[in-house]
Amino acid sequence: MKTFLKIALALIVVSVFVGTLFYLYKKSQAKPVSFDTSTAYVTDIIKKTVATGAVVPRKEIEITPKVSGIIEEIYVEPGDLVTKDQLIARVKIIPDMISLNNAESRVKRAKIQLEEARKNHIRYKSLFEQEVIPEADFLTVDIAFRNAQEELATAEDNLQLIREGATKKAGNVTNTLIRSTIEGMVLDVPVEEGNSVIESNTFNSGTVIASIADMSEMVFEGMVDESEVGKIKEGMALIMTIGAIENEKFDAVLEHIAPKGVEENGAIQFEIRAAVNLKDNQFIRAGYSANADIVLEKREQVLAINEGLLKFDNDTAFVEVEVSPQTFEKRIVKTGLSDGLAIEILEGISETDKIKAAAL
């Protein structure tokens, strides 16, 4: 019985030892490498550069008053459509006391001078009619009388202009009524009734009462890096996407590239402008942020592969094509345009060829 147990134990030990050796041998054997394959496909390849910017109206103007004063009434609000010469606001003039005092004094002096000139005119006219004085003396007095009349009229107009913002000669035209100079949409009214406003003049652009723009003609204004600006030119097509409008793209045409760059965040950027082609009855709000893909080159319906499948030997491009299961041969190819993901294949392979990809 003891002998049987010894033999059984020995067999168990030998079996475990042999099994361990077999397991270690199998584990040390390298598994055969299997490669996935891919094929060429027909697609459009677009090489492009990206510009960031915003969509703005081509024509946007700021309406400023011609006189200083206080906003008495506002007749529009943002979003309203206005026509040319439509009334936007009314300004109440608060005359400057020094200017008003000077204007009133000028009127008084003009009246005094006119009264004196009138008396001289009457006296000299009587003497001239009696042929006591020559005509030349009378003409001198007559001219002085007319000048005095004109001076009084001018002084009174100046006083009225300071008080009311308009003269008698202007009729219904008055600087206190602010009107739109173009047809379009009111984008912003930065003032409120009761606010003080300053007139536009040589030294001051004036207080903006309203911003008005033609929303039917929009442009994309963006910036392009100096490394890309040399690749673009006027007339190129743009594919524009607007962050606020999902799943829709807009066509645009590049029409301007700034001749001078500006520094932004340590890099030189060049401003570009492109005309946006809007669809019928399509409305885009001013100031939408947008990205524009500038199409540098484009190939339509060409044979292409994923650029990661391409390999290089010095300056020669090639792929590995499967000739039998998991057996590959080197195939030299001629490439064309690349967009960074796909690359055009001009010669070397067809759509049916299986190209070596990553290992499984």
Q: Mind listing the pLDDT tens digit for each residue in 165-189?
A: 655 555 544 667 889 999 999 999 9
- pLDDT tier, 22 (very low <50, low <70, confident <90, very high otherwise): low
Place of tokens 């103007």: 61
Return the SS3 of 333: coil
Q: How far apart are CA 62 and CA 54, in angstroms?
A: 19
Same domain? 253 vs 129: no
Average pLDDT of the residues in 33-47: 84
Q: How far apart are CA 216 and CA 184, in angstroms?
A: 9
Same domain? 73 vs 192: yes
Per-residue confidence (pLDDT) for residue 96, from 0 to 100: 67
Tokens coding 13: 């030990």
CATH code, 87: 2.40.50.100
Q: How far apart are CA 179 and CA 197, in angstroms?
A: 15
Model confidence at 287: pLDDT above 70: yes
Q: How far apart are CA 313 and CA 327, in angstroms?
A: 20
Give a yes or no: residue 21 inside a domain: no
As a whole number, the mean pLDDT across the chain is 84
Average pLDDT of the residues in 220-225: 92
Choosing from 216, 238, 255, the residue where a domain stops is 216
More confident residue, 109 or 34: 109
Among 10-24, 96-110, 117-131, top mean pLDDT goes to 117-131
Model confidence at 23: pLDDT above 70: no
Give a yes or no: residue 266 inside a domain: yes
Model confidence at 271: pLDDT above 90: yes
Same domain? 120 vs 257: no
Q: How far apart are CA 58 and CA 213, in angstroms?
A: 8
User: 1-5, 33-37, 208-212, 287-291: which range is least confident on average?
Assistant: 1-5
Largest interatomic CA distance in the chain: 180
More confident residue, 135 or 20: 135
Average pLDDT of the residues in 244-268: 90
Tokens coding 154: 């001018």
Per-residue confidence (pLDDT) for residue 164, from 0 to 100: 67
Model confidence at 29: pLDDT above 60: no
Same domain? 169 vs 223: no
Tokens coding 21: 């050796």
Same domain? 305 vs 159: no
Per-residue confidence (pLDDT) for residue 173, from 0 to 100: 46
Check residue 348 and report its DSSP letter: S
Per-residue confidence (pLDDT) for residue 81, from 0 to 100: 93
Same domain? 123 vs 166: yes
Per-residue confidence (pLDDT) for residue 6, from 0 to 100: 66
Per-residue confidence (pLDDT) for residue 307, from 0 to 100: 87
Return the SS3 of 106: helix
Give a yes or no: residue 132 inside a domain: yes
Give a yes or no: residue 39 inside a domain: yes
Average pLDDT of the residues in 294-319: 86
Choosing from 187, 216, 245, the residue where a domain stops is 216
Same domain? 200 vs 118: yes
Model confidence at 25: pLDDT above 80: no
Contact status, residue 176 vs residue 165, Cβ threshold 8 Å: yes
Phi then psi for 113, rounded to 5 degrees? -65, -40
Range of the domain at 298: 35-58+218-360
Average pLDDT of the residues in 41-62: 90
Tokens coding 292: 């524009």
Model confidence at 24: pLDDT above 70: no
Contact status, residue 199 vs residue 66, Cβ threshold 8 Å: yes
Per-residue confidence (pLDDT) for residue 222, from 0 to 100: 92
Same domain? 128 vs 168: yes
- pLDDT tier, 32 (very low <50, low <70, confident <90, very high otherwise): low
Choosing from 216, 238, 272, the residue where a domain stops is 216
329-359 residue pLDDT tens: 888 889 888 888 888 999 888 888 888 886 5
61-115 residue pLDDT tens: 999 988 888 898 999 999 999 999 999 998 887 776 777 688 888 888 988 898 8
Integer angstrom CA distances of residue 284 from 5, 150, 240, 273: 94, 56, 13, 17
Contact status, residue 355 vs residue 309, Cβ threshold 8 Å: yes
Contact status, residue 210 vs residue 87, Cβ threshold 8 Å: no
Total structural domains in the chain? 2
Number of alpha carbons in the 13 Å side-chain half-sphere of residue 301: 0
Single pTM value for the model: 0.62
Same domain? 207 vs 69: yes
Same domain? 127 vs 101: yes
